[in-house]
Structure 1
Amino acid sequence: MDKEEARFILRCFRPDGADAENPDFAEALARAAKDRELGEWLAQERASDAGFATALNAVAIPSSLREEILAGLAVERGESSAYPDTFDCSVIGAMASIRPPQNLRAEIIAAMDRTAAAEKGKSRLPWRIAMPFAAAAGIGFAFLLSEPPKSSVVVNLPPGDDASAPSRAPLLPAETGPGTNGGTVPISIGKVESSAITAVETPDFTLDLQNPDHHALFEHLKSAKLPCPNSCLPPGVKNMDGYGCRELKIDGKRGAVVCFRQKDNLVHLVAFKRCDVRCKLPEKGEPAFGKHGKWSVARWADDEWVFLLMGEKNVADLF
């Protein structure tokens, strides 16, 4: 085994030393112990790997991770819509900031050439080593071919957004402070959406007040000190007849839902205080559209409130 072959094998040596007793690495480690240059390179390589592991460990795991994982599974089943939250964006930004070494491409090609030569000879690398090398080569080439500009962070647009559309208004920052109801942690926008849909789909769903005049519904909400969306109605909702309203409480947070009659269909407008909901949403007038099962959903926010508009027909037509 020459120096380059030893370097090639040791690139997948784990920084915690877990592979030190693995016979697959024995010859390469012995070569590094005898060769000062190779030994110094291995020390630097392990330090770099340890630094990367430390950076990943520094990413805080949110308390709502379990809920967000379940929401992600629901998205795959077509039961919900996906919107990147603060944790998603922090991980995406961290990964986008990683830059490969300048000579990575040449080293990958050289490694592939050595692997191909080894397969033709009698001695072949153990399959436990060869598999990670092949995966690393594929990831490296994909990274080099699709690497975004250094100043950019790639985030998937929510369903309904057009990647070719003109630039939209900047997104509002996610709230991280305590909520105003009981001092608890803000609830996620995904939970607001899921809970609101569950509520209106419940067979015994009732309303606190029924009135075709939606202004009367708004006055009722104001008197109950509940969020009132009277100044933020989408254009297509302003001329609809009201149907009813009620309080919507989620994890101690007080919100409201107002129902409007759209011919033979009902449209539900949900409102919560901005400080009570953890989310990253477009500003007023720039809703994000998505699907949640049979429901068409629009999300947007302003400095005070977070809104959801839900209907069985396409709510995008109401903006």
Structure 2
Amino acid sequence: MNNEEAKFILRAYRPGGQDAADPQFAEALDQARRDPELSRWLAEQTALDTAIGGKLQAIPVPADLKASILAGRKVVPIKPEPWWRRSIHPVAATAAVAMTFATIGFLALREPPEPKADFARFTKDITDYLGKGYGVLPRHAHLATTEAGYFGSQSYRMNYRSPSLDDIRHWLAANGGHSDFISPRGLRQPLNLGCAVMDWWGRRITLVSFQIGRNLPHDKVHLVVISSADLPDPPVRGQPNFGEREGWTAGSWNDGKLTYFLLAPGDRRVLGKYL
């Protein structure tokens, strides 16, 4: 407890000592005993309360005070309510209360509208998922999402690992992934690879992680593939679009059938050497 909290409590402390044994004041009184500044404040406050109480007690109370107050009171006759009002009002009040609670319950329990599964949402969800699960972003980075519920039951792990890109394609073909993806030319001879097939808002996506060095997790480049038909607004075919976040750069492009999202450490120049 600090002095301000103690003062807040001790302002209700009565100067006559009636509250000395009250447990509600015990901690604040202990604080006053330990702190000289608070002790002086309490002494001044007690002296002031004592002085004010003495002045109030010195004011004589007129003997006919009660009679004078009652004599000046305005008497307003109360008309009895008709029986039909007395019977309807409680029912109406009960109905109003019930309706209020029902409305509050409906607003509290209804699920928020499902976010639009467009390309902007896809890139945000993928970036947050990789950043949280694979160390792509620093731990202090703000993540727009806190759960991977939109990826079904998939956890932060690879389903299959191999140093061979052909092995990765065979596994994806056998497990419903996008095995026909075109690997960026700068990522065709990695040290190791991992892959996963996941669900994103009912749409199948493929994740392929390329290990390009020994400094993990930063020497990893992540490629995410989704069917262009599963996005209402896939990127325009042609040159990749780039964006940077927390020291990482993302590139996205569309080859007509598939849409790609590549996330790598460094700036656009570094990412460009993989494309």
On whether the aligned pair clears a TM of 0.5, the verdict is no
Q: Which has the higher contact order (CA 8 A, sep 6+)?
A: 1
Radius of gyration: which is bigger? 2
Give TM class, smaller chain. 0.3 to 0.5
